[in-house]
Amino acid sequence: MSRRIGWFSFFIPILALAWAGYGFKQEVARTPAATSPFPDLYEASIAELQEGLQSGLFTSVDLVKAYFARIDEVNLQGPTLRAVIETNPSALAQAAELDRERKISGPRSALHGIPVLLKDNIATLSSDGMNTTAGSFALLGSIVPRDAHVAAKLRAAGAILLGKANLSEWANFRGAVPSGFSGRGGQASSPYVPLGDPSGSSSGSGIGAAIGLAAAALGSETDGSIVSPSSVNNLVGIKPSVGLTSRDGVIPISSHQDTVGPMARSVADAAAILSVIAGRDPRDNFTLAQPPTVPDYTKALNASALRGARVGVPRKFVALLDDARVAAFNASLDTLRAQGATVVDPADFPDSEELLASNNETIVLNTDFKVDVEQYIAGLVEVPTGVRTLADLIAFNIAHADEELVPPFWTDQSQFIASENTTVDQAFFDALGADKDLGATRGIDGALAAFQLDALILPTDIASTPAAIAGFPIVTVPLGFLPADTPLSPAEPTRESGPNMPFGLAFLGTAFSEFRLVSLAFAYEQATHTRLRVRAFPAAIPKTQLADVVEKL
């Protein structure tokens, strides 16, 4: 679940020296050297990496070495972004085996030999040497019974599971704690604003993908946890329909809202990953509701997809945002029109006021979490700390407060306590039904039908909740950046705003409409190339490139 950012708070200036120490000027992306034959790992696409691997320009072992070096540069030294909790000690051996396989029989898929980061709530085989902990010491050393279904699908496609990304602990469901903090990983921060809020809960996945610590990453979302950190880290993020990707082996918040999806530097890369991880899984009955055939989402990459499309603006939601984001959003509507789309503005949800005021989601998530997290822990092979219940987790944090409830910013576990006090009762079922009505019937589906739309569009920062409670998909793409003269807000411990902080544009649709949303998002991306306008601040950009690790013949 995403930590909502107070975008409309007043920006508070502080001494410019705090910014200048990191290098003030942010520049348009460029290749590392005009004569280099290697792709720039800051921006390299999966297709570019695959081409280099296939041509023999470099190997997957080279890629893993380069990404490990890049992580070392910025993760716990330099700007200390704390994006990665741990790297995979088996990654180099797995890369070497995949290199041998490529020579013998060719690549398994577009992801063969491609290193990907996984959020640390996505289970991986303990034999790899990595933990799965949701960032909490309470699950350190726990043994999972198998790979999460999405991890297994990546592995079967030949992807390299490079490491575990930091996250807002327990996917931001422990309490009122800053986004990007976990006991194990510490406080993550933005690569675009020094000590900036990275958003969450897939914070490390966003940071890692944004500056090329891996080719891409997986995140999970309950409400905003893929799309919000994608927005703030200048990325493409796909929050799939609940049931398109399996949640088996993913540490849960809510069986009714959780989903797993890709975070990447381009729509094409995100589509390639989604094509691999989507599909039915008998261990997750929600996936049995998806269409019988998983589309190849890379076939949705149509740069002309906006021509003739009808997209609608739920204008009452846009009014919640600050002037800079509203202005950039309004400008995007002109881009959509120029690409041949009809923009219906306003195209408000039939129940906008009721949806904004509703507290049903809180009831559903609090109740689901207690049941679902205890079920997850019960399925583990071993839990060295002995925790079994949510009450145990609360007690563990109190007993290990020096690691988990760290003053002054990270002491809260009120969400845990609220969830512990729930029961599955009629109020829960009523809230669940109301959410479907508000989010789907009289929400997204209601607006799509009333205005005969292909999709809805919103600034990503206020787009997540209607789709979350309906279980519907979102695709977010880079939209813009705060003005370069935006004052740095105080670091408490992270900054809510600062110069050039990115933000995104979200395309929303009905259940399992990802193919259409990917098409529309790709067409917008190709018309704008917004991501390339601003790079991360200089100290946050790793210097290691493939040329530094490829052995000279």
Residues catalogued as catalytic: 119, 201, 225
d(CA 411, CA 467): 31
CA 387 to chain centre: 28
List the alpha helices (DSSP H) in 131-177.
Answer: 149-156, 169-172
Residue 508 bridge partners (DSSP): 456, 474
Residue among 222, 38, 188, 183 nearest 117 (CA):
188
Can you tell me which residue has the tokens 């793409």? 477
Contact 171, 160 (CB under 8 A): no
For residues 65-84, one letter each, b for 16 or more C-beta atoms within 10 angstroms of the residue's C-beta and e for the rest, the string is: bbbbbbbbbbbeeebbbbbb
| 334 contacts: CB under 8 Å, gap ≥ 6 | none
Contact 418, 366 (CB under 8 A): yes
Beta strands in 426-528 (DSSP E): 455-459, 474-481, 502-508
Instruction: For residue 17, give the H/E element and its range.
Output: helix 17-20
- Sheet with 259-264, strands from edge to edge, namely 84-87, 160-165, 115-119, 216-221, 259-264, 236-239, 474-481, 502-508, 455-459, 310-312, 342-344
| Cβ atoms within 10 Å, residue 232 | 29
Say whether 322 sits in a helix, a strand or coil.
coil
| 289 contacts: CB under 8 Å, gap ≥ 6 | 243
List the alpha helices (DSSP H) in 85-187.
Answer: 91-105, 149-156, 169-172
What amino acid occupies position 242? V
d(CA 184, CA 546): 30
d(CA 366, CA 357): 18
d(CA 310, CA 294): 25
- Structure tokens, 205: 């996945």
Cα dihedral across residues 235, 241, 244, 246: positive or negative: positive
d(CA 392, CA 390): 5
d(CA 511, CA 484): 38
- Structure tokens, 145: 């019974």
What amino acid occupies position 299? K
What amino acid occupies position 260? V
Can you tell me which residue has the tokens 């013998």? 104
d(CA 251, CA 269): 25
